[in-house]
Structure 1
Amino acid sequence: MPDPNKTLSPSERILSSRRDFMKKAGLGTAAAATGVLAAPAVVKAQAPIRWRLQTYSGAPLGAHVIKPQVDAFNAAANGEMEIELYYADQLVPTGELFRAMQNGTLDAVQSDEATMASPVDISVFGGYFPFATRYSLDVASMFTYWGLGDIWNEAYSEVENVTWLSSGAWDPLHVFTVDKPIRSLDDMRGLRVFGVPTAGRFLSRYGLIPVTVPWDDVEVAMRTGELDGVAWCGFTEAYEVGWADVCSYALTNSVTGAWFGSYFANTESWNAVPPHLQQLYRSTIDQSHYYRAVWYWGGEALLRTTGEKMELTSIPAEEWATVVSDASEFWDEIAASSERAGRVVEIFKQYAAAQEAAGYPYR
């Protein structure tokens, strides 16, 4: 239990105040679910439906990106259904999440496509796709109004026994390093970092070396020198999960503005859920998207400017402009990989052009 007499550091005060606000506002809590979504109290004779859901995230991060949604659903399901939540690698390795869901070992999964090796031609867009977004709202906008949702539905309709349910935004991507500051592209060369596959693939052209380890082993790997840092998240997450305690430097240049994450279900399991509980599950997913957007955004600027644990470094604008240019070439490479991937990239281009043309506050 926290010591009430302890003097909190700036970052501890920020994290603590935001946690308190989320609780008081009822964002993602069971109280909110029971107050808004709860069904009438009816005694059910049959046993409840039970699901096993595993997320890509470890427990400290999962407390924000998935647990509020599961708690809200369980509270509002009125005993008709219960979801058991498992964190990264607890039941199956993260790289096997998709297959485990497909064969029924898991009923549901929360992850990006790239991290869990989803066998669709759009999997490269899950996680961090370089410069595809600038703000978290870009993700929801493109899925809802620009056609990405239709493409995701189309892709997963071709996959046996897996149903894609929804995609949402997480945090921006920064690079955090233990003891080697990045002040130029050359400084990336040889750095071993933990990160999501697509961003790692892109950044490897500057000499960064993507390394895969279990999520719970990342901090130890940085302390022992197996990793030089992480290219996995933004400032909110780095502070929340403790990586800011290990890393001394934070690169302010962002590779993209928001991570694409999705909710999936085993199709047989999904079809066995009655319509009213399917709707409840979708509603708590939307609640989760909202919770994460507030939670991440509420910490990025504050922890970047007043967090005391990492020194900020930057790659000069003129040098970073070459990275942005390289990303355009990367987009075209991916677009050529399949007709469907080409449609996704075309949406990215059209959306970015519209935002630039609109100007402030969009770009």
Structure 2
Amino acid sequence: MQRRSFINHAGLAGVLAAGAAPGIVHAQTQIRWRLASSFPKSLDTIFGAADVFAKKVNEMSGGKFQISVHAGGELMPAFGVVDGVQNGTVEIAHTAPYYFVGKDETFAIGCTIPFGLNSRQMSAWMFEGNGMKLMREFYAQYNIINFPGGNTGAQMGGWYRKPVKSLADMKGLKMRIGGFAGRVIERMGAVPQNLPGGEIYQALEKGTIDAAEWVGPYDDQKLGFHKVAPYYHFPGWWEGGPQLDFFINTKAYNALPAEYKAMVEAAAALAHNEMQARYDARNPMALKQLVGSKTQLVQFPKEVMDAAFKHSMTIYSELNDKNPNWKKVYTDYAKFRADQNMWFRFTEATFDRFMQSAKL
């Protein structure tokens, strides 16, 4: 009997009993995962990517594969999610990889490094270059497989109680700054502080810190930073295209049926795209509103930018000499960055400069 005829006569129950449709059988598998985010629920755009991901997995599986999403601090500290996934305390986390440079500086390349790739270039490196391959080889040391889970696009340079008018103003500045950039501003004389998003406002209000960076106008306005620090600097030279990731416990991922793995990949891709679309759509109005409420926009002086660039490149060179993980990934990343900047110079950058000066 031909297979098509067999299916037509046996019906679905017969097919399942005969084992002729393993994919359908797998789709009935009930799976429950917990996702630990590094972000507070109040940040609906960056935290929201995890909700988008979980909802889409639930929809595609017909409710059979459910993922509960937990804000930073609910299941574990915001900066404890890598340990949580590595140890199998939770199956999945949504976070910014550069939070974990204390474990290995290479984590930062999977998110963003000062004067690195912009968001489009980062996606190109991850999906069409060697980025995904190299980062997954690195994350395997931590029992983790990653899927890109969003990008904020280029960020602002943070909120300051007093404006930075020269390089001298960086001396002694206590600044909340995430990931790798803290090492750079430290060489500029500043004092970096690594605080979760939910703790920044209080520290800035109390004067525990003098400045803080987070993301951009939409999130920053929600967190109220403009109420306690009126000077909004730009650009965020340390975050030209920061990528968020879904970190999944390798054992948990490998245990998934093939169709559930496909759902994870598809849902992560949706969340990855949707996060930046939301930021790009919402940041302009938020910036207008912030300026309307007396926020003062301040561009970093060239000497500050030049010093930051110089120190960043020096640090990367030093890491090439002492961290084999870093050297392996950064060598490829740096070559890709050089080619991308050459290309963007003649296309995106030139077009953008014209459009930003045109009277529309």
What TM bracket, shorter-length normalisation? 0.7 to 0.9
Match of 2:58 among 68, 71, 74: 74
Q: Does 1:357 align with 2:339?
A: no
Q: Does 1:197 align with 2:179?
A: yes
Q: Which amino acid aligns with 1:148?
A: G
Q: Which amino acid aligns with 1:257?
A: G
Give the drift of 1:334. Answer: 2.4
- Greater radius of gyration (CA): 2
Aligned to 1:28: none
C-alpha separation between the residues in 1 aligned to 2:314 and 2:41?
A: 37
C-alpha separation between the residues in 2 aligned to 1:250 and 1:332?
A: 31
Give the drift of 1:298. Answer: 2.6
- Normalising by structure 1, report the TM-score: 0.79
Give me the CA root mean square deviation.
2.7
Cα gap change, 1:121 to 1:248, in 2 (>3 Å): closer
Give the drift of 1:86. Answer: 0.6
Contact 1:96 1:116 in 2 (8 A): no
Contact 2:177 2:213 in 1 (8 A): yes
Match of 2:147 among 155, 159, 165: 165
Q: Which moved more, 1:51-60 or 1:245-254?
A: 245-254
Match of 2:135 among 147, 152, 156: 152
Aligned to 1:326: 311
Cα gap change, 1:212 to 1:325, in 2 (>3 Å): closer
- CA offset digits 1:323-342 (Å, max 9, x no partner): 22332222212222333322
Give the drift of 1:202. Answer: 1.4
Contact 1:143 1:167 in 2 (8 A): no
Aligned to 2:268: 285
Report SS of the residue matched to 1:177: strand
Give the drift of 1:195. Answer: 2.3
Cα gap change, 1:296 to 1:241, in 2 (>3 Å): same
Give the drift of 1:97. Answer: 1.2
Give the drift of 1:181. Answer: 1.5
Count, aligned residues: 320
Aligned to 1:233: 215
C-alpha separation between the residues in 1 aligned to 2:155 and 2:42?
A: 18
Contact 2:201 2:223 in 1 (8 A): no
Report SS of the residue matched to 1:321: helix
Give percent identity, aligned residues only: 20
Contact 1:185 1:315 in 2 (8 A): no
Say which structure is richer in helix.
2
Give the drift of 1:43. Answer: 11
Aligned to 2:20: none
Structure 2 unaligned regions, length at least 5 = 1-23, 350-360
Aligned to 1:4: none
Q: Which amino acid aligns with 2:347?
A: P
Structure 1 unaligned regions, length at least 5 = 1-41
Q: Which amino acid aligns with 1:112?
A: A
